[in-house]
Every structure is written in structure tokens, then in C-alpha cells.
Amino acid sequence: MIYDVSHRTTYRYSIPVSFSHHRMHLTPRACAQQVCHRTALSVSPNPTTQTSSEDYFGNPVTNVTLQDQHKELSLHSRSVIEVKPASPPEPSGTAPWDGIYQNLYGDPSDTGLDAIQYVFNSPLVASNSAYTDYAAMSFAAGAPVMVGALDLTRRIYEEFTYDPTATTVSTPVDEVFAGRRGVCQDFAHFQIACLRSLGIPARYVSGYLLTHPPEGKERLVGADASHAWLSVWCPGHGWVDLDPTNNLVVSEEHITVAWGRDYSDVSPIKGAIFGGGAHTIDVAVDVVPAANGSVAR
């Protein structure tokens, strides 16, 4: 699948901003099942400086600084992305979950060191015994890791309610677990907490999901949204992406932007401003399959 992706964010301030600096994860990354054919990020007003680099996790990052007064800031990311179908392993043939941490602990390879860092607590996701007990219902002793991970995905989908009014970006995982309500970010964080509580590496993934309008309805421009899911480490197969919000293995309808330990590593936009007063934010996302299924030259 080839997609045209547009992500526009507009900040409007009640009083002028005299200086601001922003760090952005708005450019989709290249990875095993994904090719970024073209990408561009426009900023209005024109920034004083704009630089591009990669963060610790290999995600594309853009940093901008604005030193002229402004009451509105518009950020528009546009990309042409090709997503190839994944080939997830047969769940019953994957490694036992309860030997993963011990094997990684003694693995000095780059692959092993990369995977094991996602076992430990991170700023927004901390393990505890309550998560261990919840996850254990999906992971019998010696069970294949993907059998357990898929069952945990299903349970979160069935036992938690999608409710965009129940949480904010700063709601702790404990509150999500207690209320059994939230959004994709919350469900990804919770499943990561459960997996890490068992010693299974899991990382947070941000991106987009192709949405389908109700039958007989037209697509609404700007009505798509950012999405979040997780990857679980599967020895011998690498990372397998799971979407607990929709109870599925991630497919070619998911577009990866960035990954890290949790949302704090990959938030789309963060930074600091001087001035501004009260502000509003408008976000419009469109994920549209290319008209002819190919990349225009």
C-alpha cells in the first residue's frame, strides 16, 4: 500500500509568543516494512533555525526555533509512504516467554542490547505486581510468547472501553487500569506495562492508521488521527507489532512514525515558549491511499 499522509497542527495564542523552540516527531521513519519515498515539513511563520537529525532510537527529529513574535503557529507534515505486508510468526512456534529475559541478560550482541532496554521501567510505564497478575492470566508457564501476547491483546480490547473523554496524555497507567477506559495511547502503555512486568521487552509505537468511513458515507477531510500501538520482542523473529485498540496484528494499514520506551520519547510536538497566554490546538490528519497505487515521479 502506498499512502499520501498529511498531518497539520495549528496553535493559536491569546497573546503573542516572543520566542519558542519545538522538537517534533512528525516524519515517518524507514523500517523493515516501510519506505518513506518523500517527506516534507513546513513551518509557518518561517523559523529562525530549522534542523533535522535522528534521536537515540533512530527516529527522524526536526528542531525549530522561532524568534519573531507570532500569535499562530502552523506545522504541516506531508509524506508519501509505502507499507509492505508483515509476515508475523506462527504464534504456537515462538519461544517460551519465561526464558526471554534470562537469554537476553547474557546476550552482548547489538540486537540483544537493543531489545533488553525495553524490559525496564520508563518515564510513563512502570511495572508492578498488579500488572504481573493481570498479564499472568494470558501467559501460562512455558507458553509461546506470541500466544500469550495475542491473548493479552484480545483481553485488553474486550475488557477496556475506548473513551476519548476518560483520559489525557498525562493520565497514569494505574488510573487507566483502574477505570478500564482510555484511548490508544493508554491501551498501548498498559499492555507494555503488563509485558515488562513479566520480563518481556515491549516498546511504544506512534503512527497513523488508515480509517474507513461508514458504509455509504464519504471520507471527511482531516478526520483521521494519530494512532499508537506496541511492539513485543519475539526471539528469532524480531519485533512483532500489536494493536490492542483494535485487537489485531499490525498490517499494511498502519504507518509507523516513531518508536521508543513510551509516549514521552516520541510525542509529536514538544518544546518551550515565552508568552502565548491561553492557546488552542487544531489537528487535522489525512491518510489517503495513492490514487493509482504507485509513487508519482
Alpha-carbon gap, residue 15 to 150, rounded angstroms: 49
Is 243:229 a contact under the CB 8 Å cutoff?
yes
pLDDT at 225: 76
Domain with CATH 3.10.620.30 in the chain: 91-251
Phi and psi torsions of 174, nearest 5°: -55, -40
Helix (H) or strand (E) holding 115: helix 110-116
Question: Helix, strand or coil for residue 241?
Answer: strand
Question: Helix, strand or coil for residue 213?
Answer: coil
The dihedral through the CA atoms of 79, 188, 224, 218 has a sign that is positive
The architecture (CATH level 2) of 91-251 comes to Roll (3.10)
Is 48:67 a contact under the CB 8 Å cutoff?
yes
The architecture (CATH level 2) of 2-84+267-289 comes to Sandwich (2.60)
Alpha-carbon gap, residue 78 to 163, rounded angstroms: 29
Domain with CATH 2.60.40.2250 in the chain: 2-84+267-289
pLDDT at 3: 95
**Residue closest to 9 by CA, chosen among 38, 40, 43, 36:** 43
Digits of tens for pLDDT over the chain (297 positions)?
Answer: 999 999 999 999 999 999 999 999 999 999 989 999 999 999 999 999 999 999 999 999 999 999 999 999 999 999 999 999 888 999 999 999 999 999 998 899 999 999 999 999 999 999 999 999 999 999 999 999 999 999 999 999 999 999 999 999 889 999 999 999 999 999 999 999 999 999 999 999 999 998 877 676 665 544 577 899 999 999 999 999 999 999 999 989 999 999 999 999 999 999 999 999 999 999 999 999 986 555 544
Q: For the purposes of burial, counting CB atoms within 10 Å of the CB of 125, is it exposed (0-12), middle (13-18) or buried (19 or more)?
A: buried
Alpha-carbon gap, residue 136 to 133, rounded angstroms: 5
